[in-house]
Structures are given as structure tokens and as C-alpha cells.
Amino acid sequence: MKIEVTGTGPLEVDASVLAIPVFEGDPADPKGLFAEIDRRLDGHLTTAAADEEFLGKAGQTLALRTLGKLRADRLILLGLGKRDGAEGALARAGFEPLRLAAGDAARLAQKGGARRLAFAVPRLPGQTAQEARAVVEGALLGAYRFDRYKTEEKKKKPRLLEALVVAVPQGLERSREVKESVALGRSVAWSVAWARDRVNEPPLHLTPTRLADAARELAKEAGLHVEVLGPREIAGLRMGMFLGVTRGSAEEPRLVKISYAPKGAAGRKPPVVMVGKAITFDSGGLSLKPTEGMVDMKTDMAGAAAAIAAMRVVAELAPPFPVHALVGACENMPGGRAYKPSDILIARNGKTVEITNTDAEGRLVLGDVLAWGVETLQPALLVDLATLTGACLVALGMTTVGAFGPDGPAMDAVLAAARSAGEDTWRLPLVDSVKEELKSDVADLKNAGTRMGGSISAAWFLKEFAGDAPWVHLDIAGPSSTTKERGYIAKGGTGVGVRTLVELVRARAVEEARPPRR
């Protein structure tokens, strides 16, 4: 989709559809844009708003045809909620309401066959660049479709949006900050869509090998270094937990490392390391899931998709420190060689693990990859993303990421990045008493505790392999996929985590660029 930024007044922009964000109270302002549109439409906008009870509340939409009285054929009004304090509220929410509104506008415009969508950013002082980025991300992701396996859809050749026009206050369209923010928004949206595509692929077509191939292709295009290891190399790295999980599958495992490193002394700084869970299909192994619990298990690699996709944006940001993405990809299947409850696996760091549930497999693979990353890379910051526990869904629902880790700068940085990105993330506690559930009578620890506090015990398990590294675990089991459309979020994989990782690296780069305090 082509993206244009214009300082032309929104009512003068040439577009098929004009999208206008509206705050509560705007319809009553006689000098505002709503009133001007109403005058041009001979009062029909006020009538339509009254009929549809459109007040500008967050999430409300109102669509109508302009009957030739505006340059755009159709008008879409999008509620943003209260105007009072909107400047601070939007920023604190990572401009998520605006991102959601832009997604709604793009979806409605595309369903109506529009080719050109114009979106007027709210005129909030000092926030135009961030608003423009949110609009670009929201509109591009709102237009996202995954229909490559729908043969009838291909026959119909649906009309897709060809252009997005972002209307900003006059003069700011030439602003360097606005241009850079729009470019970043486009890049982030591309990467989120890439992650969505991988999550939406059926497991037949996204095996560990094919996920590694996709990562290799992305890295090559972005100018990043990539290393892909097979079962023999994984065995040489003494990753006994990883190899235990993959034993039941006919598909070979892959260990993927994607690396960005600046030249010179900066390339030798302690890196940021992102680790993604990549179970390309999780049957539960011998602790077999029921059918209804298995249908969506192609999404069990969403953490890896986010980590890999974020690296493309990292390459463009070119931070003054190294960044790595590590992914251990495999299937968890109940084959004749599958690992069994009561097996004891030996991890890379030498710890022995009693298997009490083969459906608690993601933490085993992650544990070995975390230990490898800590030992070989000595990270300044270590973040893992994983669709790890159903318990996190029970605790936080389907739209919130759970964050675990010790107090300190690493946790503070990740939570700040999530807020800036507009990805809802809530910190959960590492309760000491729950850690006791991982004690084993025959090994150093068990791979699963009881159902009570399951997401906490899973995080404690990972902590055994992160060691003393500055580490944060993000459980994305809830928001990694969805069955409902909402704003820019399409059904299926969401690409959650990409924006948080990008903001984490971006904020760290900005911090390092600041002159030292005297």
C-alpha cells in the first residue's frame, strides 16, 4: 500500500474514503471539523449521528455516503473517547486508541471496495509524529488479510486498498520527525504482518525446517547474519531438553540465531537477546491434548515469529549495540520415540529435569536456548516470548501479556516499551512458595507443578536457565491469536510482541545516544 503524508486540509484531500477521529463533545463544537462537515452535508451528519447514537465514545464508528458534497465518496467517523486530557491519555496508552481507530477505518474502507483512504490525525500539540505512526500501523494492519488458502476468494479478486493518505497539520508534512515516524510505522506493520503470516500458516506448511528457512530469508533481505543448526549440532551443544521434546516427531528440529552487530567497539558491547518459543505444532506429546485443545496449536510458535520479525526493524534502526534473536524450533508429537512422563532429561547447563507432563514442553526448549544464550552471549538484557501457559489466560484474559522477572532495570525497560508500543502488558509476581512445586525427589527439578499458579511456576522454571542475567519472560498465550476482529487486529495470529521488542531496542538506543551526565 502506498503511503502519502499531506498538509492539505482533510476535506480537500482526494480520497475514496475520509476517516475523521472524533472526541466526545466534538459534535457540539460549532467551530470544529464535525460542524464544518455537517454544514457541507446540509445537516445530514448531525441527523445520522443522532440516529446511530454516535457520540464519539471510544470504539464507536459512523459511516455514511457524502452524495458528492465532499471530495471523498464516503465518510467514516471514529470515536476516541473524552477530549479532556487526551494528550496525556493517548501517549500513556501508546496511541493504541488511534491505532485501533485506523484499523477500523481501513477494514471498513476495504470491505466497501475503496482504493484510497485518507485519515486526519487529531491535532494534539507536539504529538503529530506519534499519531501519524499509529495511524500507519493501524491502517496497514487493519487491511491485513490471510486468504492464501481460500480458492474462492482468489477467484473473486477482492479490491484492496492501494493508498493511505495521512493528513497532518499544514507544514508538518515536511517534518523530519513525521517522515521518520511514518517510515518506522510502515516497517513495524510489515514485520507484524510477517509474524501473523507465520502464525496463521498450517503446521503442514510451517515445519521447523520451513520456519528456519523463512527466518533465513528475512535475515538475508535485512542484511543480518543468520545461523541455522540441525539435530547433530543441537546434540553437540548438549541441549538434552530440546532434543527430548523433539524425539516424537518425524520433523527435524532447528536452532536459529539471527544477529545484528554494529561495526567497531559498539559491536562488542553486551547485547540485547530475544528468545522466542517455536513449537510449530504442539499435540501435547504423550500427555495428549483433547481435540478442541489441539486445533489452535499451530500458533505455539508465535513468540518465535515475533522475535524473528522484530529483527528486520532492528536492522533498520541500527542501534549502537548488538541484538540477537534465538529460536529453538520443533514439534511436540506422541511418536514411538517420544519422551515420556517420568523421564529425566539433562539440560545444557547440567541441571536434571524430571518430566511430569509432556505438554509442558515449551519451557524445556526455551530453557536450553536461554542457557545457551546466557553462556555464549552474556546479554545486557534477555527477553523471552512464549505462548507458555493456559494459566496466564485465566489470570489476564485474551488480550493481555503477562510479564515475569526480578525487579530492576530490565523489567522496567520491558514494561515501558510495552506501554510505548500500546501492547497491554501486566506484571505478575514470582511468588517464592510456587517455586517449591518444582522440587523433584529424583532430579534437580520437575518440568511442571500443579495447576495453581501454573504461569508462575513456568516462569520459575525458566529462571533456572536464565540464571543471573537481566531477564524478563513474556507469556503471550492469550493475545497471540484471536477469534474476533477488533480495530487493526484480524482473526488469527496477531503478531503481538513485535512492537514491544522494537520499542525496547529503540528506547535503549536513544538512551545510549544521550551524552553522559556530569
* Residue 445, pLDDT above cutoff 80: yes
Question: Structural domain of residue 336, as residue ranges?
Answer: 201-512
For 27-71, the pLDDT digits (tens) are 888 889 999 999 999 999 999 999 999 999 999 999 999 999 999
Tell me if 490 sits within 8 A of 138, measured CB to CB: no
Which of 151, 171, 191 terminates a domain? The answer is: 171
Q: What is the pLDDT of residue 153?
A: 64
* Residue 142, pLDDT above cutoff 90: yes
Q: What is the DSSP string of 395-439?
A: HH-SS-EEEE--SSHHHHHHHHHHHHHT--EEE----HHHHGGG-
For 209-248, the pLDDT digits (tens) are 999 999 999 999 999 999 999 999 999 999 999 999 999 9
Tell me if 135 sits within 8 A of 121, measured CB to CB: yes
Q: What is the pLDDT of residue 155?
A: 58
* Residue from 69, 115, 289, 427 carrying the catalytic annotation: 289
**CATH number of the domain bearing residue 495:** 3.40.630.10
Asked whether residue 138 falls in the same domain as residue 237, the answer is no
- Which 3 state secondary structure label does DSSP give 506? helix
Asked whether residue 218 falls in the same domain as residue 350, the answer is yes
For 330-366, the pLDDT digits (tens) are 999 999 999 999 999 999 999 999 999 999 999 999 9
Q: How many helices (H) and strands (E) does the chain have?
A: 18, 19
The Cα angle at residue 452 between residues 442 and 396, in degrees rounded to 5: 135
Contacts of 400 (CB under 8 A, 6+ apart): 424, 425, 426, 478, 479
Instruction: Please check whether residue 518 lies inside any domain of the structure.
Output: no
Instruction: Please check whether residue 210 lies inside any domain of the structure.
Output: yes
Asked whether residue 475 falls in the same domain as residue 327, the answer is yes
Q: What is the pLDDT of residue 141?
A: 98
**CATH number of the domain bearing residue 141:** 3.40.220.10
Q: What is the pLDDT of residue 497?
A: 98
Averaged over 499-518, what is the pLDDT? 89
Asked whether residue 68 falls in the same domain as residue 146, the answer is yes
**289 catalytic residue (yes or no):** yes
Q: Which of 325, 363, 137 is nearest to 241 (CA)?
A: 363
Helix 33-40, helix 44-51: angle, nearest 10: 110
Q: What is the pLDDT of residue 12?
A: 94
Asked whether residue 259 falls in the same domain as residue 163, the answer is no
Instruction: Please check whether residue 337 lies inside any domain of the structure.
Output: yes
Instruction: Please check whether residue 251 lies inside any domain of the structure.
Output: yes
Q: What is the pLDDT of residue 291?
A: 94
Q: What is the pLDDT of residue 296?
A: 95
Asked whether residue 248 falls in the same domain as residue 380, the answer is yes
* Residue 514, pLDDT above cutoff 90: no
Asked whether residue 324 falls in the same domain as residue 441, the answer is yes
Asked whether residue 116 falls in the same domain as residue 251, the answer is no
Instruction: Please check whether residue 32 lies inside any domain of the structure.
Output: yes
286: confidence class by pLDDT, cuts 50, 70, 90:
very high
C-alpha to C-alpha distance for 373 and 398, rounded to whole angstroms: 30
Q: Other CB atoms closer than 10 Å to residue 380's CB: what's the count?
A: 17
Averaged over 105-113, what is the pLDDT? 95
Query: In Å, what is the CA distance from 169 to each residue of 120, 191, 368?
Result: 9, 28, 52
Asked whether residue 252 falls in the same domain as residue 110, the answer is no
Asked whether residue 227 falls in the same domain as residue 109, the answer is no
Asked whether residue 150 falls in the same domain as residue 252, the answer is no
> Which residue has cell 445520522?
48
* Residue from 363, 419, 446, 499 carrying the catalytic annotation: 363
For 73-88, the pLDDT digits (tens) are 999 999 999 988 888 9
For 164-207, the pLDDT digits (tens) are 999 999 999 999 999 999 999 999 999 999 999 999 999 999 99
User: What burial letters (b/e) apply to 176-193, b meaning 16+ CB within 10 Å?
Assistant: eebeebbebbbbbbbbbb
Tell me if 197 sits within 8 A of 146, measured CB to CB: yes
Number of domains comprising the chain: 2
User: What burial letters (b/e) apply to 202-240, b meaning 16+ CB within 10 Å?
Assistant: ebeebbbbbbbebbbebbeebebebebbebeebeebbbb
Q: What is the pLDDT of residue 61?
A: 96
For 384-429, the pLDDT digits (tens) are 999 999 999 999 999 999 999 999 999 999 999 999 999 999 999 9
Taken in order 242, 244, 245, 247, the sign of the CA dihedral is positive
For 249-276, the pLDDT digits (tens) are 999 999 999 999 999 999 999 999 999 9
Q: What is the pLDDT of residue 78?
A: 97
Taken in order 469, 472, 477, 480, the sign of the CA dihedral is negative
Give bridge partners of residue 227 from the DSSP assignment. Answer: 257
Instruction: Please check whether residue 189 lies inside any domain of the structure.
Output: no
Asked whether residue 417 falls in the same domain as residue 301, the answer is yes
**363 catalytic residue (yes or no):** yes
